[in-house]
């Protein structure tokens, strides 16, 4: 019969072997791709920056209104830079307005749950055509397109930008939902995340309807615009391919059987996830989570952002 010390030794060897096997199968993400240690409330407040941007962006583009026009007193702080009503058809306008209104509801729900106090402070946000033109110029490897790119000029241009930003929200919520503590908070964040996922699907469907159309006044198609800007986003994020166009190589399509990509996902068609530093690197347009610019020229609100900035 084996003595206790032998049994203990065998057990420790087994544990060490299992640990080695687990480590061998675990991909260690670089720091910019990992979540920042934070409380549930801090993570939710971080996401509020994105929700505020989306609500103002979609509402101004569709009906030339802002959050306080819909829900007076809900927000305070600087008005968005460059807000413009977009040139698209009435059916598209109604959809974009609906998605903006839904995001106002998400913000109000966070206030009603006691996670935020009204008025919510907005960060400085840049929704101007010039801010987005910078991303598109990089995508097409030019200093400036001729004429300068204007997301508000037509449906493909605007929807391509809107679906890109919507994906940031959907992917961040997919990343944080499992870590949110508390039944009320968990249910609320899950509800927002599911609604945002549906909105992203709607925007990608709108773009898919015109995917082979030429984006006037240029020669490239909506498909090429979507694919190229997705590549820029992935480079800025620095955490692999998580932004995908609407047409992909067969090996990236669902079950390697389709090149259409209305609902993007990983090898098992699961939603991609992004975390704080990755999000900041992309929306700042700098590839650096501590260097504001792009869509948020003065950075985010909230302690999670400040801690990351000052680290």
Spatial distance between the Cα atoms of 280 and 169, rounded to a whole number of angstroms? 12
Q: What is the pLDDT of residue 15?
A: 43
Considering the domain boundaries, does residue 156 fall inside one? yes
Q: What is the pLDDT of residue 138?
A: 96
| 152: Cα separation from own chain's centroid | 20
Per-residue pLDDT tens for 19-36? 444 444 556 888 899 999
- Listed as own residue / partner, the contacts of 132-138 with beta carbons closer than 8 Å and 24 or more positions apart are 132/161, 134/285, 134/294, 135/229, 135/232, 135/233, 135/285, 135/294, 136/225, 136/228, 136/229, 138/232
**Other C-beta atoms lying within 10 Å of the C-beta of residue 181:** 9
Considering the domain boundaries, does residue 34 fall inside one? no
Residue 177 has pLDDT above 60, yes or no: yes
Considering the domain boundaries, does residue 24 fall inside one? no
Structural domain boundaries, residue 48: 39-310
Considering the domain boundaries, does residue 25 fall inside one? no
Mean pLDDT of the chain: 93
pLDDT band at 14 (very low <50, low <70, confident <90, very high): very low
Considering the domain boundaries, does residue 255 fall inside one? yes
Considering the domain boundaries, does residue 90 fall inside one? yes
CB 44 within 8 A of CB 187: no
Rounded to two decimals, the pTM is 0.91
- Give the distance between the most distant pair of CA atoms in the chain: 85
Residue with tokens 């790119």: 149
Considering the domain boundaries, does residue 160 fall inside one? yes
pLDDT band at 5 (very low <50, low <70, confident <90, very high): low
Into how many domains does the chain fold? 1
Q: What is the pLDDT of residue 3?
A: 58
Considering the domain boundaries, does residue 18 fall inside one? no
CB 177 within 8 A of CB 187: no
Per-residue pLDDT tens for 235-278? 999 999 999 999 999 999 999 999 999 999 999 999 999 999 99
| 244: Cα separation from own chain's centroid | 12
Beta bridge mates, 75: 120
Buried b (16+ CB within 10 A) or exposed e, 138-162: bbbeeeebeeebbbbbbbbbbbbbb
Residue with tokens 């030794």: 9
């Amino acid at each position: 019969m084996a003595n206790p010390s032998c049994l203990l030794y065998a057990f420790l060897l087994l544990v060490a072997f299992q640990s080695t096997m687990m480590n061998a199968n675990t991909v260690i993400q670089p720091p910019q791709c990992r979540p920042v240690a934070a409380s549930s409330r801090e993570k939710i407040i971080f996401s509020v920056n994105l929700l505020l941007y989306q609500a103002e962006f979609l509402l101004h583009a569709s009906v030339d209104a802002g959050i306080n026009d819909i829900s007076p007193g809900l927000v305070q702080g600087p008005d968005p830079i460059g807000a413009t009503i977009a040139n698209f058809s009435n059916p598209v306008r109604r959809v974009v307005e609906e998605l903006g209104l839904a995001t106002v509801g998400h913000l109000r729900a966070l206030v009603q749950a006691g996670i935020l106090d009204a008025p919510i402070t907005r960060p400085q946000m840049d929704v101007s055509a010039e801010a987005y033109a910078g991303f598109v110029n990089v995508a097409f490897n030019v200093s400036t397109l001729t004429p300068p790119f204007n997301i508000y000029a037509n449906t493909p241009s605007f929807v391509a930008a809107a679906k890109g930003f919507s994906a940031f929200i959907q992917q961040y919520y997919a990343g944080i939902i499992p870590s949110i503590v508390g039944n009320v908070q968990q249910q609320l964040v899950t509800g927002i995340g599911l609604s945002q996922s549906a909105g992203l699907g709607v925007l990608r469907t709108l773009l898919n309807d015109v995917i082979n159309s030429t984006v006037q006044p240029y020669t490239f198609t909506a498909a090429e615009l979507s694919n190229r800007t997705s590549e820029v986003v992935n480079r800025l994020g620095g955490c692999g391919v998580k932004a995908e166009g609407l047409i992909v190589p067969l090996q990236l399509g669902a079950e390697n059987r389709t090149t259409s990509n209305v609902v993007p996902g990983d090898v098992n068609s699961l939603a991609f996830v992004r975390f704080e530093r990755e999000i900041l690197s992309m929306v700042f347009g700098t590839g650096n989570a501590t260097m504001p610019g792009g869509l948020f020229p003065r950075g985010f609100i909230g302690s999670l952002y400040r801690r990351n900035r000052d680290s």
